[in-house]
Amino acid sequence: MTDALLHAVAGPSWSNAPAASAVALLLHGYGAHERDLLSLVPELGLEVPWASLRAPIELGNGGAAWFAITSPGDPGPEPIAVATDAIWAWVDAHVPPATRVVPIGFSQGGFMATQLLRTRADRVLAPVVLAGFVLGAAQPADERLAAERPAAFWGRGDADPVITGAAVARTAAFLPQHTSLVERVYPGLGHGISDAEIDDVREFLAEHLG
């Protein structure tokens, strides 16, 4: 798998990535694109170098996806492995080996943030999962996560009509057993990101990124 599969836009400080201890990766949701989450950068007070990746599956009309939706909330492991490998190929090509990545993802992008954590936990710091969920199949780093319990943020609305109840339940069972989880549920919020959630994520990142 090659870097050519993914396109990214990077912030002005990306040139400092070789000297940074951590960089942020923005991961958009299904049908969106690499510029969809850029407004979060100033709102979250991100001071680390950042890049926003475009998912590899083109949907038309400018949108893209990390994986096709065939069984909502319960994707198969094979397409997920392909998408995960695509992100790691980009990271390996653009981020120094000693630099950790801070994935910040929404919906499918939030799902991919958990995949990065569950496949190469040593490279991931303080993942942020917004309206996302986890894969049902076991992943390579799960045992390590259960032992080390790294910090993670999971935020969602209690009125989200997109993420299935089974996917939410699976995530609610997995993350507390494998991370030091900061979980926030926002009353009345649908499949989106609220101002209160942005405030909570900003506080979480400030704590773990210094």
For the chain, what is the largest distance between any 2 Cα atoms, rounded to a whole number of angstroms?
Answer: 44
Q: By C-alpha distance, which of 35, 75, 38, 73 is closest to 55?
A: 35
- How many domains is the chain built from? 1
**pTM for this structure?**
0.96
What pLDDT, on the 0 to 100 scale, is given for residue 2? 41
Which CATH number characterizes residue 22's domain? 3.40.50.1820
Contact between 110 and 104 under an 8 Å Cβ cutoff? The reply is: no
Containing structural domain, residue 10: 3-209
CB 116 within 8 A of CB 151: no
The model's pLDDT over 151-208, given as tens digits with 9 standing for 90+, comes to: 999 999 999 999 999 999 999 999 999 999 999 999 999 999 999 999 999 999 999 9
Q: What is the pLDDT of residues 5-58, one digit of tens each?
A: 699 999 999 999 999 999 999 999 999 999 999 999 999 999 999 999 999 999
pLDDT bracket for residue 1 (50, 70, 90): very low
Q: Which helix (H) or strand (E) holds 132?
A: none
The pLDDT of residue 210 is: 77
Residue type at position 119: T
Strands (E), 131-179: 151-157
